[in-house]
Structure 1
Amino acid sequence: MAQTVACTARPPKHEVRAVWLTTIGGIDWPHTYAQSARSIEKQQNELRKILDQLQAAGINTVLLQTRVRGTVIYPSAYEPWDGCLSGHPGKSPGYDALQFAINECHRRGMELHAWIVTMPVGKWDALGCKQLRKKMPRNIIRIKADGYMNPETQQTADYLANICAEVTRAYDVDGIHLDYIRYPEELPKLKTLSRDKGRDNITRIVRTISRRVKGIKPWVKMSCSPIGKYDDTQRYWSRGWNANTKVCQDAELWLRDGLMDELFPMMYFRDNDFFPFALDWKERSHGRIIVPGLGIYFMSPRERNWPLSDITRELEFLRAEGLGHAYFRSKFFTDNTKGIYQYARNEYSQYASLIPPMTWQS
């Protein structure tokens, strides 16, 4: 096991400590299917065990994948059940997994944010995509083997707002967390698109969703996970991969205009691809909450075999700058990849922190 770095930054009173908990294919949860009373209990106990581990390591926010690929993990009037729970797409597992997860998180003093995957709707002939193609035949774009919602139509904005409103109205969620709220980089048109027009299109979707959610429950946090670098900085190049110019995510405007309360930029980088860009997000925060996402999966020998010290340096830096942190993803954290769980539990997050208040909301 790699040697840890002692944490010197003082633990703050307020700090977001989050994980993305993935349900697609059950890669974080669930690892068994719910098809009987006994197997339901087994599946639920799997989640209880994960949440116990997260709680013990100081995690206070769980981003739970709720809309997967045009499919969901709760009984919806709009979309079918994802197959990750029952083993059969479209079939109920016999319980409401979202309600169960909310109850278990709140029991442990943790927030649960419903993670909504927006544009990608799965394989062209998979259940979620097929049903959406029937509902809105001109609004689903095919790129290779997959379907995507058209980022340029009001129909996409209204439909996604309906999904988010359904979750907000029916459940005591603490946040709505939008993923992939951007242009698909494989879209051929992206090369010739006017960036101003593209940003307007994505912002229109964000505004439609945010207004619907806040109109129902103003206290529910709106967040998203933009590309990890906002744009080039004066001194550092984003290597051609950034939120603002490349995929038309004007995330700073979303913060400034109150469309987002919180950002979880996917900062799965290290060294000078991480530190200056984290500072750049802080400078663009407009007083909102910034929670950089850390690519702890890159510590896996199957990935890039990063040493633990790459992540602990980032954690120390974020705390010194008053920023939160989010681990991508849960299983790499609870599996203690390179000792990250042990470091968080015994050193970095030894003492609990409260969620920062939304002072601008009330």
Structure 2
Amino acid sequence: MAPGRHSTRPAPRPYRRWAAFGAAAAVIAAGYVVAGSTDSPAPGPGSSLCQAADDKRQMRGAWLTTVGNIDWPSEPGLSAEEQQAELDERLDEAADLGLNTVFLHVRPTTDAVYESDLEPWSRYLTGEQGGDPGYDPLEYAVAGAHERGLELHAWFNPYRVGISSDLETLADDHPVKEHPDWMVRYGGEGFLDPGDPEVREWVTDVIMDVVDRYDIDGVHFDDFFYPYPKDGEEFADDDSWEAHGGGFDDRDDWRRDNVNRFVAGIHERIQQDKPWVRFGISPFGIWRNSGSDPAGSDTNGLESYAAQHADTRTWIQDGTVDYVVPQLYWERGFAAADYEVLTDWWADQVEGTGVDLYIGQAAYRAGEPGWRGDNALTDQLDYSDGVEQVGGDVYFSFMSLTEEAADAFGRLREEYYADPALPPLGDVAPDADPEVAAVRGLNADTGDEGTELTWDAVEGARSYAVYRIDPDQVEAVAAGGVDDVCEALSADALLGVTGTTSWTDGADAEGAYVVTALDRYRVEGPASDPVDPRV
């Protein structure tokens, strides 16, 4: 079986889960507040809280790929204004599609889609590695995503340097120019050697530089660790094996240990510096086949455990990742790697571990034979949506959702994404109090174009969730019972998430509005007093 096509080749291709705690509201003794602002004193963090329904939280993401200019920018050499306009369009599309997370490819080939003192600018911005695009794309993307109520996870390729033609034009300040011994040529490409401790330290420092300087919501790796195998070729790491392989009789075990150490080290550093930043990996869909290991899946394909020395099962068991997104790019019923079989296998691996499971979906395959046209994505979710451990989906790649998979995703949105979803929780205890207080100053003005909501900014708020309570629930809210408030702030009542302090509800609907603030861990704080513009 060929490697998964989410391997970021420049060609078309491809926290722990705790009970959702939050969705709280101030108890209103005498009834809900009518039209106008709600200026009553805001409860402190932790007051009037209730358990939020699990179905209010779900990962809905897409990979926004920069390598080969697959998704963005459309071509190298665009002006800063043109790149920003395209990025704005992608983020608008993400919000319009009902997504809540964008995985932006910020380090495609040991270079940077952000301002860095450690590595050169990516060639996919200007056409020349090291060429300054005239602005900081990651800073711009983070601000734009948060304004739209989206999360932004920074997606890194830890070890890939590039294809042969890239290696001939490396920027003068590229780390491989200073440390040529760090790179191994393999299969017409260059890779940093994961067996060299200096390499692992360097890559860790590069990633933590981004974590520390940017307000990102997550750090994300795909399936590139050791490279996919090439027939008749050996990965030439003899020097690092001889220097650092002591204590291992088997080189493959040593290679897996190199990756395990690296993954664990990244997780530890993030937890120390910014524990609300989630760390996740999207491995190739098969860990091991049951024919190789009884603990493996009932499949018959390439194994990431052997091929890329990626022991994802150990990362889950050790808790060195917050989430996994296995690339299940095969259809239901595919004999060698059945989507249903693999979904169940991955669900079993995360059960009871606190590691979230999201499914990597092959949106790019929507037009291929056997993928059933407009049913291509709904057929997959028809199965995995019923598996309790599956907490959402991530689609490869972004442009596929508006091109070959546009009709398929449109149907999926009607059937599965009709209601918005809050993002998954960060790495917090199930009884954690929010870091934010109740929203105050909620005001609702209804005009010809809908109802315009505004409210006061809440200190420490990462985003805001906007609800409209149906008329038949308003009286229950007015009664002041906490259980009634919890029921009212349901997934059905959620209008959306925003990073601003305003929202326009264009729907011709009746009811009262409630707004809550989410903190950096995505815990939902106490709600505003409801406001009904009709009263």
1:86-137 C-alpha deviation (Å, 9 max, x unpaired): 2332111111000111111111111100000112110332326983322222
| Cα distance, 1:34–1:100 mapped onto 2, change above 3 Å | farther
User: CA–CA distance in 2 between the matches of 1:17 and 1:129?
Assistant: 39
Q: 1:244 aligns with which of 305, 313, 324?
A: 305
| Cα distance, 1:236–1:161 mapped onto 2, change above 3 Å | closer
User: CA–CA distance in 1 between the matches of 2:192 and 2:160?
Assistant: 7
Structure 1 residue 295: Cα displacement: 1.2
1:121-163 C-alpha deviation (Å, 9 max, x unpaired): 1033232698332222212001132110112121121011011
Structure 1 residue 242: Cα displacement: 2.1
* Structure 2 partner of 1:328: 396
* Structure 1 partner of 2:325: 264
* Structure 1 partner of 2:385: 319
Structure 1 residue 215: Cα displacement: 1.9
Conserved? CA contact 1:307–1:338, under 8 Å = no
1:270-317 C-alpha deviation (Å, 9 max, x unpaired): 12421111111111111211111111212235xx57323242121122
User: CA–CA distance in 2 between the matches of 1:110 and 1:44?
Assistant: 17
| Cα distance, 1:207–1:236 mapped onto 2, change above 3 Å | closer
Q: 2:426 aligns with which of 348, 358, 361?
A: 358
Q: 2:359 aligns with which of 280, 292, 296?
A: 292
* Structure 2 partner of 1:151: 194
Number of aligned positions between the proteins: 347
| Cα distance, 1:359–1:80 mapped onto 2, change above 3 Å | closer
* Structure 1 partner of 2:56: 13
User: CA–CA distance in 2 between the matches of 1:351 and 1:299?
Assistant: 23
Conserved? CA contact 2:226–2:308, under 8 Å = yes
Alignment of 1:1-362 (within 5 A): 12-33=55-76, 39-123=79-163, 124-127=167-170, 131-186=174-229, 188-189=234-235, 194-233=251-290, 237-272=298-333, 273=337, 274-285=339-350, 286-301=353-368, 306-308=371-373, 309-322=375-388, 323=390, 324-335=392-403, 337=405, 339-359=407-427
Query: Unaligned regions of 5+ residues in structure 1, if any?
Result: 1-9
Hey, which of these two has a bigger chunk of helix by percent?
1
User: CA–CA distance in 1 between the matches of 2:424 and 2:156?
Assistant: 22
Conserved? CA contact 1:297–1:328, under 8 Å = yes
1:12 alignment partner, SS class? helix
Conserved? CA contact 1:71–1:128, under 8 Å = no
| Cα distance, 1:61–1:14 mapped onto 2, change above 3 Å | same
Conserved? CA contact 2:160–2:224, under 8 Å = no
Structure 1 residue 72: Cα displacement: 1.0
User: CA–CA distance in 2 between the matches of 1:64 and 1:258?
Assistant: 24
Conserved? CA contact 1:181–1:224, under 8 Å = no
Q: Once structures 1 and 2 are overlaid, which stretch shifts more, 258-267 or 224-233?
A: 224-233
User: CA–CA distance in 1 between the matches of 2:141 and 2:357?
Assistant: 24
Conserved? CA contact 1:105–1:111, under 8 Å = yes
Q: Once structures 1 and 2 are overlaid, which stretch shifts more, 165-174 or 49-58?
A: 49-58
Q: Once structures 1 and 2 are overlaid, which stretch shifts more, 247-256 or 257-266?
A: 247-256
User: CA–CA distance in 1 between the matches of 2:359 and 2:171?
Assistant: 30
The TM-score, its normalising length taken from structure 1, stands at 0.88
Q: Once structures 1 and 2 are overlaid, which stretch shifts more, 235-244 or 150-159?
A: 235-244
2:377 alignment partner, SS class? helix
Equivalent position amino acid for 2:255 in 1: G
Conserved? CA contact 1:132–1:140, under 8 Å = no
Equivalent position amino acid for 2:196 in 1: T
2:385 alignment partner, SS class? helix
The TM-score, its normalising length taken from structure 2, stands at 0.61
Structure 1 residue 337: Cα displacement: 2.2
Conserved? CA contact 1:69–1:121, under 8 Å = yes
Q: Once structures 1 and 2 are overlaid, which stretch shifts more, 81-90 or 98-107?
A: 81-90
1:245 alignment partner, SS class? helix
Structure 1 residue 34: Cα displacement: 5.6
| Cα distance, 1:359–1:155 mapped onto 2, change above 3 Å | closer
Equivalent position amino acid for 1:172 in 2: D
Q: Percent identity?
A: 30
1:161 alignment partner, SS class? helix
User: CA–CA distance in 2 between the matches of 1:15 and 1:239?
Assistant: 31
User: CA–CA distance in 2 between the matches of 1:298 and 1:130?
Assistant: 38
Query: Unaligned regions of 5+ residues in structure 2, if any?
Result: 1-52, 237-248, 433-535
Larger radius of gyration between Structure 1 and Structure 2: 2
Equivalent position amino acid for 2:126 in 1: S
Equivalent position amino acid for 1:148 in 2: F
Q: After TM superposition, which residue ranges in structure 1, 4 or more long, deviate above 6 angstroms? A: none
